């Protein structure tokens, strides 16, 4: 295998997780009066909005539960997870099983999306926490909601999203990705996975987004994999594609599917090569596959989460292939992320940089950034690096 100083990165990432990232969330995010977590935190950890965003509440439950299950049996992590799971179960769902997108601090519904992602993270939270405490009833609750999600994802009207006459049929990469991840979570540890067929179908749908002729991964394609017209069909989200790549590579490792593994490596490689900014460094947020003006005005920004996804994906690709390019890219991203996003003064990471790599927002938590991507990549990298050593 090619060279990478694994010991250096184990120490670096463990220090970052234990001393810079988790203390920030444990100190500032726990709502000790009403339960759950404060999501909107400024640079120093002060609460600037008390709205509680359910997908972030659920992600944080999952994160602390996974840390407890996979890394260390710390009571503080389990107690943090318990605060969140009690809150989301009490206030997070409507009578029909739909999960709200946001709640007031006290738990009153504020907003609901016409998507399935809040439900999926709710399922992930219940399942991972159930493993931590051995509560089979929570597992059953998660499975029951997943059955509903599988019907809702194919019926937009059930989510309150009408299908209009001019609207093209679209396969969005995000949907099979989240379904694959949730199914894999629910089946974890079982020899004969009950969701094998579903995971194979989701995998096949994800692969339709990879265009081998142009070495790109498109965010949206037609259900049969054919191209869509306009900006919708040309949209590339490099970080999202890279995340899809490591999802697929993990699936290939579990199933021993060599052909899928090779495809997954390409799905990591292509968007990284295309998405890296050769002038200022960092990964672009959005791109147009043909170089046309992207619709997204923030396309040139550098966000924290694509770099988190790239770090684990590139490390995993290097581990699987031994290709020195992936090790070099991993170090390139690590150098950029740790020098640009990391806040050595108040902890955690900035989330939003301009193209030149300077923070545009000093928040540490908001409606879309929470206790998830940074600690997840650190945990995943630590576990893989320890395995490599």
The H-or-E segment that residue 132 falls in is helix 117-133
Q: What is the mean pLDDT of residues 260-274?
A: 98
Each residue of 171-194: pLDDT tens digit?
A: 999 999 999 999 999 998 776 689
Domain ranges of the chain: 168-346
CB 30 within 8 A of CB 52: no
User: Model confidence at 1, in pLDDT bands (50, 70, 90)?
Assistant: low
Residue 209 confidence (pLDDT): 98
State the alpha helices, DSSP H only, in 188-323.
Answer: 196-207, 230-234, 238-255, 258-275, 304-321
Number of Cβ within 10 Å of residue 94's Cβ equals 10
- Cα R_g (the chain), whole angstroms: 20
Whether pLDDT at 253 is above 80: yes
CA distance 187 to 244: 19
Mean per-residue pLDDT of the chain: 97
Q: What is the mean pLDDT of residues 119-141?
A: 98
Residue 190 confidence (pLDDT): 76
- DSSP sequence for 177-221: HHHHHHHHHHHTT-SS-TTHHHHHHHHHHHHTTEETTTTEE-SEE
- Name the least confident of 165-169, 190-194, 312-316, 344-348: 190-194
Residue 154 confidence (pLDDT): 87
Residue 188 confidence (pLDDT): 85
CB 370 within 8 A of CB 363: no
Nearest to 37 by CA among 308, 369, 378, 377: 369
Tell me the sheet residues that pair with 337.
none
Each residue of 93-121: pLDDT tens digit?
A: 998 999 999 999 999 999 999 999 999 99
* Measured CA distances, 139 to 126, 135, 220, 356 (Å): 7, 7, 33, 45
Residue 193 confidence (pLDDT): 83
Whether pLDDT at 31 is above 70: yes
Q: What are phi and psi of 276, to 5 degrees?
A: -75, 130
Each residue of 144-163: pLDDT tens digit?
A: 999 999 999 988 888 998 88
Number of Cβ within 10 Å of residue 88's Cβ equals 28
Q: What is the mean pLDDT of residues 195-206?
A: 97
CB 252 within 8 A of CB 260: yes
CA distance 224 to 205: 9
Residue 191 confidence (pLDDT): 67
CA distance 244 to 118: 19
May I ask the CATH architecture of the domain 168-346? Alpha/alpha barrel (1.50)
């Amino acid at each position: 295998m090619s060279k990478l100083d694994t010991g250096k990165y184990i120490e670096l990432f463990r220090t970052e997780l234990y001393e810079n990232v988790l203390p920030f969330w444990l100190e500032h995010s726990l709502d000790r009066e009403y339960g759950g977590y404060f999501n909107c935190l400024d640079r120093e950890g002060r609460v600037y909005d008390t709205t509680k965003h359910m997908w972030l509440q659920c992600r944080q439950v999952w994160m602390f539960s996974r840390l407890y299950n996979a890394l260390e049996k710390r009571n503080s992590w389990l107690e943090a997870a318990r605060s969140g799971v009690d809150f989301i179960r009490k206030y997070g769902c409507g009578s029909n099983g739909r999960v709200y997108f946001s709640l007031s601090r006290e738990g009153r519904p504020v907003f609901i999306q016409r998507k399935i992602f809040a439900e999926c993270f709710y399922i992930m939270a219940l399942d991972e926490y159930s493993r931590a405490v051995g509560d089979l009833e929570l597992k059953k609750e998660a499975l029951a909601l997943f059955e509903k999600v599988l019907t809702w994802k194919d019926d937009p009207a059930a989510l309150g999203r009408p299908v209009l006459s001019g609207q093209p049929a679209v396969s969005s990469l995000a949907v099979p990705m989240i379904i694959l991840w949730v199914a894999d979570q629910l089946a974890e540890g079982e020899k004969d996975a009950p969701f094998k067929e579903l995971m194979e179908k989701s995998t096949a749908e994800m692969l339709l987004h990879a265009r081998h002729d142009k070495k790109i991964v498109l965010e949206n394609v037609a259900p049969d994999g054919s191209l869509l017209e306009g900006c919708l069909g040309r949209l590339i989200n490099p970080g999202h594609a890279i995340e899809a790549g490591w999802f697929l590579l993990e699936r290939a490792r579990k199933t021993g599917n060599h052909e899928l593994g090779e495809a997954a490596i390409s799905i990591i490689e292509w968007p990284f090569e295309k998405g890296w900014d050769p002038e200022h460094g960092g990964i672009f947020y959005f791109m147009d596959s043909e170089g046309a003006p992207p619709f997204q005005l923030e396309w040139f920004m550098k966000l924290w989460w694509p770099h988190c996804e790239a770090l684990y994906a590139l490390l995993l690709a290097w581990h699987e292939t031994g290709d020195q390019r992936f090790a070099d890219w991993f170090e390139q991203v690590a150098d950029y992320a740790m020098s640009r996003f990391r806040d050595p003064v108040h902890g955690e990471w900035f989330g939003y940089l301009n193209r030149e790599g300077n923070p545009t927002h000093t928040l540490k938590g908001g409606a879309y950034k929470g206790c998830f991507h940074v600690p997840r990549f650190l945990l995943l990298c630590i576990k893989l690096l320890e395995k490599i050593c």
